[in-house]
Amino acid sequence: MADTHKQWLEELEAESKVKQEQFMNDIASKLRHPRMYDKPNHPFRGAPDFWNAFEWSEEERIQAFTDNFLSVGGHVARLGSMDEVKSFIVQKAEEMSAKYVIRQNQPELDALGLESALTGSSVSVWNTDDEQYWRARAAEADFGIVIADHAVAYTGSVTVLSAPNKGRSVSLLPTVLIIIIPIERLKTRLGEVLVTFDEAGREQLPAGIHFISGPSRSSDIENDLTIGVHGPGIVYALLVE
């Protein structure tokens, strides 16, 4: 079976490569130029110059991020240390009687010692056991805990990147999402984060890059705003010094 599936994919790829040439040749001929193989000069790449020069101070970034995140129904707390983060999470878990907590497998989160601090919850650590179906673990979780790789003040967004120790499901499937944002990762503009992916280049990119700007929402029923449709309905952004 494995072999036939692979064969089938290879056949498809062979067909696709033939079709690719036809497609591109057809496009070039319709555009009335010979096939282009060299990178064209792109004078309008990215945002306008005046925008790229725009930058806020740290306090302005914190303020703008907070305002934006609150305005879409998210929650924000500004905390002085990772110890405060720990107490915050413990308190929230007790308040909401969180039974299942899932977190990314990162040293900063290991250091929080949530496994022993959360007495009423069972805490799982993403992808630490090959036998587990981790998507289901995330789906049953009340809390998901992640660390932001980047954050953007102007749009009130947090960026999380996937990796073997950082599941996409952890920021998606639990009911409550807690995002820890080290304050030095908070940038002014979206472009400051996006440009890092251009700089990194294709081979360095993770499979999933997710910008999260608040709780899941929909206005599909009579324009009435509903929070928490498919993704987490309660989202905490913890800005940590």
Partner 1 sequence: MAGAKTEATVKARADLALNDEFLRKAVRFTTERLRNGKKKATDEHGNWEDWRERGKQIRLHTIAHLDYYLNLFVNNARANGVHVHFATNTEEAVKLTLDIAEHAGAKSVVKSKSMVSEELHLNHALESIGVEAVETDLGEYIIQLAGEMPSHIVIPAIHKNRYQIADLLSKEAGYTLPPDTTALAGFVRKKLREKFLDAEIGMTGCNFAIAETGSMVLFENEGNARMVSTVPKTQITLMGMERIIPSWSDLEVMATLLPRSATGQKLTMYMSGITGPRRSADADGPDEMHIIIIDNGRSLQLGDPEFQELLNCIRCGACLNACPVYRHIGGHAYGSTYSGPIGAVLTPSLNKNIAEWDDIANASSLCGACYEACPVKIPLHDMLVYLRRRKVESGNGSKMESIGMQGFATIMGNSSRLGGVLRLGKLGQKLVVRSGVIKTKLGPLKGWNTYRVTPSLPKESFRDRWDTLDQELKQGLKQMEPSMQNRMEELVRKRELDEKQGKGGHGHG
Token match 């040293």: residue?
107
Residue 97 — φ and ψ, nearest 5°?
50, 55
DSSP lists the bridge partners of residue 145 as 103, 178
- Does residue 131 touch partner 1 according to CB under 8 A? no
Task: Choose which of 100, 145, 147, 215 interacts with partner 1 (CB under 8 A).
Answer: 215
Question: Is the CB of 94 or the CB of 205 nearer to partner 1?
Answer: 205
- Does residue 107 touch partner 1 according to CB under 8 A? no
- Does residue 35 touch partner 1 according to CB under 8 A? yes
| DSSP secondary structure string for all residues of 91-110 | HHHHHTT--EEEE---HHHH
Task: Choose which of 32, 53, 59, 107 interacts with partner 1 (CB under 8 A).
Answer: 32
- Does residue 189 touch partner 1 according to CB under 8 A? yes
- Does residue 182 touch partner 1 according to CB under 8 A? no
Measure the N-to-C terminal CA separation of the chain; round to a whole number of Å: 54
- Does residue 91 touch partner 1 according to CB under 8 A? no
Rounded-to-integer distance, Cα 108 and Cα 52, Å: 32
- Does residue 7 touch partner 1 according to CB under 8 A? no
Q: Is 86 helix (H, G, I), strand (E, B) or coil?
A: helix
Question: Is the CB of 79 or the CB of 235 nearer to partner 1?
Answer: 235
Task: Choose which of 2, 39, 119, 131 interacts with partner 1 (CB under 8 A).
Answer: 39
- Does residue 201 touch partner 1 according to CB under 8 A? yes
Rounded-to-integer distance, Cα 241 and Cα 227, Å: 29
Question: Is the CB of 90 or the CB of 141 nearer to partner 1?
Answer: 141
Token match 């999402």: residue?
177
